[in-house]
Structure 1
Amino acid sequence: MNAQRKAPAAVAGADRGMDSYLPEHGNGGYQVRHYDLDLDYRLGPGRLSGRARITAAAGPSLSAFSLDLEDSFKVGRVTVSGKAARYTHRGGKLRVRPAKPVPAGADFVVDLRYVGTPVPVRSAHWGEIGWDQLTDGVIVASQPIGAPSWFPCNNTPADKAAYRISVTTATPYTVVANGVLVSQRTNASTTTWVYESTAPMAAYLATVQIGQYELVDLGPAQRAAVPGRLLPVFGHDFGRQPEMMSAFEALFGQYPFEEYTVVVVDDELDVPIEAQGLSVFGTNHVDGYRGAEHLVAHELAHQWFGNSLTVADWRHIWLNEGFATYAEWLWSECSGGVPAAGLAARSRSELARQRQDLRVSDPGARRMFDDRVYQRGALTLQALRVEVGDDAFFALLREWTLVNRHCTVTTEQFTTLAQRHTDRPLAPLFRRWLHETPMPLA
């Protein structure tokens, strides 16, 4: 009898998510330790065949649990720790009931195969997100809920795991994924690319990029995948990235991953995309005039703020976007451009003309990516810098990234740590900038 037909209805608690904004995504009953993904992608028909092995640790005893996976895939046999498990798959949830409950605190391994034509996840507020076809290749942009468009996962930022990602596709194409390239094997008309990422990563930051790219070195542990025709212009536009990396390491602490890769897809993109250990730009971000260099800084800064330090809940999104926006201002200051204070004044003038109805510390799911979260988050940091002075401020940033390296973070953690770096009371500053809707007058 087919395992999918004889599966019982989902038990209470099997789908409990952890995120206050997106509780329908993820499952709070376990923590994933490792994803092992073997993917075979056929570019013509857009067909993806996958094998996933997911190693996790139970929280409470689990008689059932769920993984997030889009319905565009057909799931084959599912096993839990080597034994066949019952399952259902609908509504973007793969609900699994092991042959025996997983004891509280115990490790378990889920194995499954799946096949289908991946399509982006449709969202109410942010359009289509996840695996998507380019004119010639593939782009994966999963923030915040697109990861299930290409692999089964615990789709919540609070659950970070190590990854091995193997992708087989047509030989003329280059594959870039998170982590370090550990092997590349060509067999007849296909090539298999294997990447490993030992640093824990949230599912939304996992990515695969496929295109006809040239691989180039940018500096120590920095590389790029770029369409060949764009290499001369790219060399100018991204030429200061090694200098930028050095500046950010001085300001924020050691770069948190083994490598950093930039991908320029051969299509235009509305905005660049961050993933762990890499960033993705469009052809419109390469203009020969460094017109998008502030975005180069923004995406690089996300490697510290968002990727190494990942929000424990999406309501803390300013810890990602406010910090990355402030990094743009810091790079301008470091590279001889307008100082951060000047850019802050411009931002403040612009925000003063907009509606004063957003709480930075809790903007709501619909407005997570509102530009005011980015700008007021950055202005909060500038106000803090002015209040405590440069020495204390940058010591705070370096400690923040060091003590929380590869962990999840909250607003409360940051404000508590900030207070330890000064005798001045900071609660009024944080209340005005983060927790109240009107922008402070001073």
Structure 2
Amino acid sequence: MRRRIVAAVAALAMTVTGTTLAGTPAQAAPTPGSPGIGDSYYPDYGNGGYDVEHYDIRLRYQPGTDRLTGTTTILARATQDLSRFNLDFVLDVSSVRVNGWSATHSRSDAHELVVTPARTIRSGQLLTVVVQYAGVPSQVLVDGYTGWRRTADGAMAVNEPESAWWWYPSNDHPLDKATFDVSVSVPDGVEVISNGVQPRPPIGELLGWTRWIWRTTKPTATYLSFLTIGQYDIVTDTAPNGQPVVNAYHVGLGDLAGAARASIERTAEVVDWASGLFGPYPFEAQGGVAGPLDGIGFALETQTRPVYGPSFWRRGANTYVVTHEIAHQWFGDSVSVADWRNIWLNEGFASYAEWLWSEAQGEGTAQELFDFTYAYYPADDPFWQVLPGDPGPNRIFHSAVYDRGALAVHQIRLAVGDDAFFRILRAWTAQRQYGNGTNEQFQALAEQISGRDLSAVFTTWLFTAGRPELAGDATAQARVATPPQPKSWARIQEAHRFLPR
């Protein structure tokens, strides 16, 4: 017995000094997951220490009071030994459980929910995190702002780069994509639209409530998930590729309803056209949502089903904004930014898709749109001082990211030729499908496929202040001297006029 005690004491001593009896290192103490995922523009967005695989969001919403109650179940895997971890969330939390055990929770900074599990979490371990919560999202402000828009008959959770905080806890950064089940109970007669498909029709519940269920089966960035609640006409159809099409139109659009339908009902056509340029459509459903008059003032590429504010329909139908948001399904949704400084990879290519659509519709070629856009902004315009490749956190939606971004895309096309250019686009969307990318990675791919050094093009058009010279090209100089306005120009400008906050 004495020998056993001595051996146990020796083993304990060796463990304390970092060595087990067998001579192997002791397991390091678990550490907290970082309160940010490492984004250069928004360092506190997202979280470290785990990777989410699926969100199951179950809500109850009362439009009359804007009160939201919910339970979100997060399925994740730890990427380190964790003593605690963070979620991005702002509503009042009543309880958190991790793998069935009650966990403690507290607040840190504006939108950090700090969760301390009852038991240590080991790297590679599966996590089931259940968060129960409630609140009035429109009244919860972060820096004077809420991502939840209350409307006369419901609400909209649609925004970029953040909106999830106000309706479900998450790892809120495009680097951590997941699949979604969204289930929302609302009073009878109220519609709920979200991403993906409906695995079953709305279900009547007791006491005048109906539950709507939506499912997203492809990896989705949190800012691309959405929720809109209110009075909607829902139109369903089948796309040329056999996928379900779900379009929704707020019943209060009045005189704008016709223009909204004439635009959004062409979604399947635009998807079919874009698939020929960018590769197979990457998601399981198609569609669009025309929001209410008192809703959002912009459009957003919410995955599978972009949402449009009413301003786009005031001058009639506008398929250019539809083309922009559909192009994002490849550039931004399937292949998302690895860091928000890479926003050009989203907006530059979605804007250039409008130029390609213009050419396909016979309303102005991409070259004509390049010439007119270049001439439209005088050399001394502050527009040219914004760098699309690194615009800064307060200018990710600056017009230069869109228009100068499109100019840069066209210059890349001219540098490599059409054959290589479209091979580059299809390779980018195929190789990084459901993942992320950076400016540097796109340049490397473009150089690999084209066999050309593109450093000068990328540096000049994306990272250098001032209007680039077209010196040495007399033909180009003549074109941009007094270029005619393409027929599509006004509609394209309207598509860019209303941007997220």
Q: Check whether TM > 0.5.
A: yes
Within 5 Å, give how 1:121-160 maps onto structure 2: 122=141, 128-160=145-177
1:105 aligns with 2:147: no
Query: Whole-Å Cα distance in 2 between the matches of residues 359 and 232 of structure 1?
Result: 38
Within 5 Å, give how 1:361-372 maps onto structure 2: 361-372=389-400
Q: CA deviation at 1:75?
A: 1.0
Equivalent residue for 1:427? 455
Q: CA deviation at 1:284?
A: 2.9
Within 5 Å, give how 1:14-413 maps onto structure 2: 14-70=34-90, 73-90=91-108, 91-119=110-138, 122=141, 128-183=145-200, 184-187=202-205, 188-217=207-236, 219-220=238-239, 221-228=244-251, 231-267=257-293, 269-287=296-314, 289-290=316-317, 292-351=318-377, 352-355=379-382, 356-413=384-441
Sequence identity, in percent?
38
Query: Whole-Å Cα distance in 1 between the matches of residues 221 and 164 of structure 2?
Result: 10
SS of the residue 1:216 aligns to: strand
Asked if the contact 1:385–1:393 (Cα under 8 Å) also holds between the matched residues in 2, the reply is: yes
Q: Which moved more, 1:220-229 or 1:27-36?
A: 220-229
Asked if the contact 2:247–2:265 (Cα under 8 Å) also holds between the matched residues in 1, the reply is: no
Equivalent residue for 1:6? none
Query: Whole-Å Cα distance in 2 between the matches of residues 319 and 95 of structure 1?
Result: 33
Q: CA deviation at 1:120?
A: 7.2
Asked if the contact 2:234–2:248 (Cα under 8 Å) also holds between the matched residues in 1, the reply is: yes
Q: Structure 1, residues 358-414: CA drift from partner, whole Å, max 9, x if none?
A: 222211101111111111211111001111111111111111111111101111111
- Aligned residue pair count: 427
Query: Whole-Å Cα distance in 2 between the matches of residues 370 and 129 of structure 1?
Result: 21
Query: Whole-Å Cα distance in 2 between the matches of residues 289 and 49 of structure 1?
Result: 39
Query: Whole-Å Cα distance in 2 between the matches of residues 120 and 276 of structure 1?
Result: 27
Asked if the contact 1:14–1:64 (Cα under 8 Å) also holds between the matched residues in 2, the reply is: no
Asked if the contact 1:129–1:143 (Cα under 8 Å) also holds between the matched residues in 2, the reply is: no
Q: List gaps (5 residues or longer) in structure 2.
A: 1-30, 471-501
Query: Whole-Å Cα distance in 1 between the matches of residues 139 and 420 of structure 2?
Result: 44
Q: CA deviation at 1:123?
A: 6.1
SS of the residue 2:118 aligns to: coil
Q: CA deviation at 1:287?
A: 4.3
Query: Whole-Å Cα distance in 1 between the matches of residues 48 and 437 of structure 2?
Result: 17
Query: Whole-Å Cα distance in 2 between the matches of residues 175 and 46 of structure 1?
Result: 14
Asked if the contact 1:120–1:132 (Cα under 8 Å) also holds between the matched residues in 2, the reply is: no
Q: CA deviation at 1:283?
A: 2.8
Q: CA deviation at 1:430?
A: 1.1
Q: CA deviation at 1:74?
A: 2.0
Q: Structure 1, residues 205-245: CA drift from partner, whole Å, max 9, x if none?
A: 11111121111135413221113456544343345433322
Q: CA deviation at 1:12?
A: 5.8
Structure 1 pair 67–406 and aligned structure 2 pair: CA distance change class (3 A): same
One-letter amino acid of the counterpart of residue 119, structure 2: K
Q: CA deviation at 1:285?
A: 2.2
Q: CA deviation at 1:353?
A: 4.2
Structure 1 pair 366–284 and aligned structure 2 pair: CA distance change class (3 A): closer
Query: Whole-Å Cα distance in 1 between the matches of residues 457 and 65 of structure 2?
Result: 55
SS of the residue 1:278 aligns to: coil
Query: Whole-Å Cα distance in 2 between the matches of residues 234 and 315 of structure 1?
Result: 32
- Highest Rg: 1 or 2? 2
SS of the residue 2:385 aligns to: coil
SS of the residue 1:299 aligns to: helix
One-letter amino acid of the counterpart of residue 441, structure 1: E
TM value normalised by structure 1: 0.92
Q: CA deviation at 1:129?
A: 4.7
Query: Whole-Å Cα distance in 2 between the matches of residues 74 and 419 of structure 1?
Result: 50
Equivalent residue for 2:480? none
Q: CA deviation at 1:250?
A: 0.5
SS of the residue 1:421 aligns to: helix
Structure 1 pair 101–301 and aligned structure 2 pair: CA distance change class (3 A): same
Question: RMSD of aligned C-alpha atoms?
Answer: 1.9
Query: Whole-Å Cα distance in 1 between the matches of residues 102 and 333 of structure 2?
Result: 35
Q: Which protein is richer in strand relative to its size?
A: 1
Asked if the contact 2:32–2:49 (Cα under 8 Å) also holds between the matched residues in 1, the reply is: no
One-letter amino acid of the counterpart of residue 89, structure 1: R
Q: Which moved more, 1:314-323 or 1:73-82?
A: 73-82
Q: Which moved more, 1:79-88 or 1:186-195?
A: 186-195
TM value normalised by structure 2: 0.81
Asked if the contact 1:121–1:130 (Cα under 8 Å) also holds between the matched residues in 2, the reply is: no
Equivalent residue for 1:3? none
